[in-house]
Amino acid sequence: MNKITSAVITRDGKQLLTVNGCEIDSVAYITYLPENNRYEDFAKAGYQLFSTCVFFGSNSLNSTSGLEVFSKGLFDTDLPDFSHFDRDIHNILKVCPNAMIFPRVNVGLSREWEAEHLEELNDQGPDSLPHVRRVCFSSDLWASEVERLLGLFVEHIESSDYCNHIIGYQIAGGNTEEWFSYDQKGSVGPRSREKFAAQVAAGREDNEYEYYRFLSEMTASRICQFAKRLKELTEHRLAVGTFYGYTLEKPDRYYCHNDLKQVLECPHIDFICSPVSYAELRRAGRNHSYMLALHSLKLHGKLYFSENDTRTHLSRAYSDLPRYQGPIWFGPDQDTTLEILKMHFARALVHGHASWWFDMWGGWFADEKYMEFMRKAREISHDAGRLSAKSRAQVALLFDERSVALFAEGDPTPQKVLYDIREALGKTGVPYDLYLTSDFEAIRHEYSAFVLLEPGATPDSEKIRREEKNLLVITKENCEITPKELRAFYKEAGVWLYSEEDAVVYAGESHLFLHTVRDGKQVIHLPKGTKWIDLFTQQPFEPIFESKAQKSYLLQIVE
C-alpha cells in the first residue's frame, strides 16, 4: 500500500492543504482532554480533519501558572508508552473512519530528564515561579534528545494500523506549547551565553539588542531543526507546522517570537499557527485581530492555521489555579458567542487560510445551536473551495519584528505601537493586509497606502520612510490615532472606504465580512457593480440596513 502524502499548495489567493494530491477542507477539531471529546458531534457535522495533543514528557504545560500537561508523557520511562496516543487516535477513527489527523507534538521533556541535566536549563523560572527551571532552547543536548524521541514516535506511527490517517505533524514546545521561553526571560542560561559568545567571537556585536535578537533566532532555528528531522523521518511525505511569530500579540523581546523571517524561509515548515488575539477579552463589537504577519505567510507559500479557542457560554474553569479563574476563560451569552463564532470562521474564509476549533477542556460547543453553526460553517467552507480568496485590501500594514529587541522589559512603547493600535485599525471599515517590513519590496506596488508600525527605527523602516509616499508611520507619539483619523488618511490616499464610520470589514474577491459596532442604520459601500448574498441567512444583502451592534454578516458575491 502506498503511504499517505500531504502538502501545501497555493491557488487563487489562498494556501490549501492537500492529501494524496487532493485539496481538503482545512477546518479541524481538537481538544486537550480526549476524555471530554466531542469527536462524534463534529464527525456528524461533516468534519474529517482532526488534531490531537501528545506530550513527550510529564511536566508543566505553563511554567508561569504551574498547569500540568494533560496526559502521561510518552517517554517518562525507559520504555515508551504510546497507549494514550493510540487510544485517542482509535477513538477518532471509531466515529470518523475516514479521519485525517495531524498530532500536536509537545517535545518538552520530563522533569526527570531536566533534573539530570541542570546545566542545560535556564538560570531561573518565570517571576511567578522562579524555582521552576526548564530547559534552555540553546541546549544542543536537549535538541539531540528531542530528535531521538521524534524518531521513536514517528517509527511507532509508521508501523501502526492508523499510519495512513496521520497527514502531518505540528511541532509544539516551550511555555504553553507555543515556543515562548520557559523562563519568560528569553531562554537565558549557560548554553545561551556560550552560543552567543561564540557568535561574538566570530564577529557579532556584543550588546543587548544583538543578544535578544540571538535568542529569537535560536528559538526559530530549533523549530526549523525539528521540522527538518520530521521531514527526514517521513521521507518528505507529510506537512509539518508550528506555532510561531506572535510579535503583534506579544511585542516583547523576552518571548523569543521575533524571527518569523527565518521560519518563513525554512523549506521544512509548511504551516504556521497562532490563536485569535486575546485583546479586550475578545469582546464582540471589535476586530479579533491576527497575532502575526498573515500575508507574509501567504507570500512565502506557508499555510496559516488559526486556533479558534473561542470561549462559549458553556466554557468552564479547568483548574483551581488562580490563572484559570479570570474572565478570559469564560464566554459571553449564547447569542453573542454565535456572532463571535461567525467572525472567527469568516476570518479564515475571507483571508483564505485554515483553522481549527479548539474545544480546550471539552464540551465548549456541546449545544445544538453551536453544532448547527459548525455544520453550516463546514458546508460554506466546502462550497467556497472553488472560489478566489485574493485580497481586495488596498492597505498594507508593515512592522519590523527586529524592532522589539530595542526595548527593555517594562517599556510600554512596543505594546502601544504594535498591540494597542490594532483596536483602531480594526474598526476603520477598511480592510488591511499584514506584512513584515522585509517583504516590502515584493509588495510595494500592490497597495494604495501603507501603515508602518514603528516602535523604534530599523534599517528596514527607515528605507520605507524614504521610498514610500502614501505612508502613515505610527510611533509612540501618534499611537493614540483614532479610526476616524485613519479613514481620513486612507481617503486622501485613494483607498476605498467600505464604511464612513466604525465597522469591522474583511474583503476578498469572493467574500466580504462585516461586523457592526453600534445599533441603528448601517451604510456599507460595496464595490461598484457588485451584488452580494449573506451566507448566514441566504438572503440578498442590501448595503443600507438596520442592525443591532455586534452582528456578523458573511457576504458572497453573486455572479
Q: What is the pLDDT of residues 334-360, one digit of tens each?
A: 999 999 999 999 999 999 999 999 999
Backbone φ and ψ for 415, nearest 5 degrees, come out as: -60, -45
pLDDT band, very low/low/confident/very high, at 54 (cuts 50, 70, 90) = very high
Residue 7 located in a structural domain: no
pLDDT at position 320: 86
Per-residue 3-state assignment (H helix, E strand, C coil) for 520-547: EEEECCCCCCCCEEECCCCEECCCEEEE
* Total domains in the fold of the chain: 3
Q: How confident is the model at residue 274 (pLDDT cuts 50, 70, 90)?
A: very high
Look-up of cell digits 459571553? 332
Please indicate, yes or no, whether residues 261 and 282 belong to a single structural domain of this protein.
yes
CA distance 527 to 532: 10
3-state SS of 325-373 is HCHHHCCCCHHHHHHHHHHHHHHHHHHCCEEEEECCCCCCCCCHHHHHH
Q: Which residue has the cell 535568542?
A: 215
* Judgement on whether residues 441 and 371 belong to the same structural domain of the protein: no
Q: CA-CA distance, 29 to 44, in Å (whole number)? A: 12
pLDDT-derived band at 317 (thresholds 50, 70, 90) equals confident
**467 and 510, same domain (yes or no):** no
**What's the mean pLDDT in 422-440?**
98
Task: Provide the percentage of residues in the chain whose pLDDT is more than 70.
Answer: 100
- Whether residue 498 is predicted with pLDDT greater than 70 in this model: the reply is yes
Confidence of residue 79 (pLDDT cuts 50, 70, 90): very high
List C-alpha distances in Å: 403 to 200, 210, 243, 520: 20, 11, 21, 42
The answer, yes or no, to whether residue 88 has pLDDT greater than 90, is yes
**d(Cα 441, Cα 76) in Å, to the nearest integer?**
49
Do 382 and 401 belong together in one domain? no
Tens of pLDDT, residues 187-211: 999 999 999 999 999 999 999 999 9
Q: What is the pLDDT of residues 354-399, one digit of tens each?
A: 999 999 999 999 999 999 999 999 999 999 999 999 999 999 999 9
pLDDT of residue 305 exceeding 70: yes
Say yes or no to pLDDT of 559 above 80.
no
Alpha-carbon torsion, ordered 391, 443, 13, 550, to 10 deg: -30
The pLDDT of 170-191, averaged and rounded, is 98
- pLDDT of 241 over the 70 cut: yes
Q: Are residues 435 and 545 in the same domain?
A: no
State whether 416 and 537 are in the same domain: no
375, burial (CB in 10 Å: exposed 0-12, middle 13-18, buried 19+): middle
* Same-domain check for residues 248 and 371: yes
Confidence of residue 461 (pLDDT cuts 50, 70, 90): very high
Residues 337 and 476 in one domain: no
Among the candidates 344, 360, 386, a domain finishes at 386
Beta bridge partners of 511: 556
* pLDDT surpassing 70 at residue 96: yes
Cα–Cα distance, 184 to 21 (Å, whole number): 41
Question: pLDDT, tens digit, for every residue of 413-425?
Answer: 999 999 999 999 9
Written as one letter, the residue type at 381 is: S
Q: What is the CATH number of the domain that holds 57?
A: 3.20.20.80
Cα–Cα distances (Å) from 513 to 28, 155, 448, in that order, read 21, 44, 21
Average pLDDT across the chain, whole number: 97
157 and 305 belong to one structural domain = yes
Is pLDDT at 247 greater than 80 in this prediction? yes
Q: Supply the range of the domain harboring residue 272.
A: 25-386
For residue 6, being part of any structural domain is answered with no
Section 275-287 average pLDDT: 96
210-228 burial by CB neighbour count: b if 16+ within 10 A, else e? bbbbbbbbbbbbbbbebbb
8 A C-beta contact, residue 19 and residue 354 = no
Instruction: List helix spans (H) across 172-293.
Output: 190-201, 208-233, 260-264
Cell of 26: 482545512
What type of residue is 496?
A: W
- What's the pLDDT tens digit per position in 111-148? 999 999 999 999 999 999 999 999 999 999 999 999 99
CA–CA gap between residue 336 and residue 325 (Å, rounded): 21
Q: Considering the entire predicted model, what is its pTM?
A: 0.97
- Let me know: does 309 contact 31? Beta carbons within 8 Å: no
Residues 296 and 429 in one domain: no
- Per-residue pLDDT at 1 exceeds 70: no
Residue 154 domain flag: yes
pLDDT at 220 over 70: yes
Tell me which residue has cell 490517517: 165
Q: How far is it, in rounded angstroms, from Cα 531 to Cα 529?
A: 7
Label residue 323 by pLDDT band (50, 70, 90).
confident
Cβ–Cβ under 8 Å, residues 109 and 57: yes
Q: Which three cell numbers stand for residue 525?
A: 459601500
Domain-embedded: residue 2: no
Of 386, 411, 437, the residue that ends a domain is 386
**Is 476's pLDDT higher than 70?**
yes
